[in-house]
Amino acid sequence: MTQFRTNEPVILPLRGVRILVVEDDSDTRKMLKFVLEQSGAAVSATDAVQSAIQLFEKTSPDAVVADIGLPEYNGYALIAKIREFEQDKRPRTKCVAVTAYATPKDRDLALSSGFDDYIAKPFSPGELIKVLGS
């Protein structure tokens, strides 16, 4: 029979961090939300840029994790809106592109568009947590 020690501290590297996830694939969105919540984050999630902008303004997240290939408007439109909003209203939010667009050119474009970090799919949850925790 396996015994667990209950007096050992639980490490939650994202405890207290508010994160907005913007991902159109339902399974990926649920996985991201679950992984981030298990790391201590408070997570809001949506599948589109329009609702992401509303959530961003309403929840004032500490970080945004966004796909690039979103329906209607893409992740580049989202980051442009976020950075525009921040100019007048709040400090810079850490924004991470998590995308299947995985070439060096795609990475450069994401970073030059205003994302702070870039993670290519597929990725490990630990990689995302490390990037968000830094």
pLDDT, position 121: 93
Single-letter amino acid code for the residue at 5: R
> With a cut of 50, which residues of the chain have pLDDT below it?
1-4
Domain limits for position 53: 18-133
Whole-structure pTM value: 0.90
- Domain assignment present for residue 89? The answer is yes
CB atoms within 10 A of CB 59: 14
In a domain, 102, yes or no: yes
Q: What's the pLDDT score for residue 88?
A: 74
Say what angle helices 49-59 and 75-89 make with each other, to 10 degrees. Answer: 30
The CATH number assigned to the domain holding 68 equals: 3.40.50.2300
Give the whole-angstrom CA distance, residue 94 versus residue 65: 9
